[in-house]
Structure 1
Amino acid sequence: MRGPVVSGFETFTKTLVALGRDPQVTIQKRGTITLNAAAYAALHEPQAVELLFDRDDLVLGLRPCEPRLGHGVFVRPATRSPNGPYVVSAMAFLKYYGIDTTVARKFRAEVRWPVLCADLAGPCAVVSKLPH
């Protein structure tokens, strides 16, 4: 049910949200890696990915793979929205490489096909939820 139309105002609906243009990867506190819709699209919307890490340059990589590959990790939507985000379970990977999960951090990602890369030594944004 819609309320009365007020001159000069638009009603915000979730369908009006534009996709982010830049691929982004977020390392969450709970040990997951989240991809925005642009990052997921840049990987050609895989069912599963391989988790890669360059220790020398501190670059996290995700490469599409067959879901049945023994070390592949499924990519699942975090919500029912077709606009993402998409989640990869990565706690063991993050712990093994000593990647900080004390705060959620968002990184710009770039595609070096077939790998989506996030420079963990580069700039990032700390992601936090606002208190209610």
Structure 2
Amino acid sequence: MANFQVFTRRMVPLVKQPAVTIQKRGNMSVNRAAFVALGEPQAVELLYDPAENIVGFRAVPTDTEHAYPMRPQGQKEDGPYIVAGMAFTKYYGIDTTISRRWPATMQDDVLCIDLKQEGTVVTSNRGRSTDVEEVEAQGKLI
């Protein structure tokens, strides 16, 4: 009899590069590595440098007036974590027409993403088309 091992997602090593995705409607998704780099906070404050076009996240106590809770996406507590950012992105005119992911870096106690970089377009499998012609037209042939 074969000696099978059950594969679980927890066996996959933690992505080492912190990253933040600004989703189509303005919510922000922070991967596990970014969450750990921030110190695994329950809440963050959102920061923006308009001259440099940099978005920042800083851990704050949950009772801070302008704190945004970091919610685990779905039932998973190993990331990603969602921050409601629709009002923030709208106020600063940050493009949310498509979801994009940026590498994140820590500057002192602030997790930063540089929006001057193009970012990587992110697509979800939820609404993924099964029509081959439509997928080919989008240049996403699997």
Q: 2:46 aligns to what?
A: 51
Q: CA deviation at 1:80?
A: 2.2
Residues 1:26 and 2:26 are matched in the alignment: no
Q: 1:128 aligns to what?
A: 123
**Partner SS, residue 56 of structure 2:** strand
1:34 and 1:129 mapped to 2: Cα distance? 13
Number of equivalenced pairs:
127
Residues 1:116 and 2:119 are matched in the alignment: no
Q: Map of 1:24-103 to 2, 5 A cutoff? A: 24-103=19-98
1:19–1:83 CA contact under 8 A, matched in 2 = no
Q: CA deviation at 1:83?
A: 1.8
**Partner SS, residue 84 of structure 1:** coil
Structure whose residues are more often helix by fraction: 2
Q: CA deviation at 1:66?
A: 1.2
**Which letter does structure 1 place at the counterpart of 2:111?**
L
1:12 and 1:82 mapped to 2: Cα distance? 18
Q: CA deviation at 1:44?
A: 0.1
**Partner SS, residue 113 of structure 2:** strand
Query: Which structure 2 residue ranges, 5 or more long, are not aligned?
Result: 131-142
Instruction: State, as a whole percentage, how many aligned pairs show the same letter.
Output: 44
**Partner SS, residue 82 of structure 1:** coil
Query: Which structure 1 residue ranges, 5 or more long, are not aligned?
Result: none
The TM-score, its normalising length taken from structure 2, stands at: 0.82
**RMSD across aligned positions (CA):** 1.8
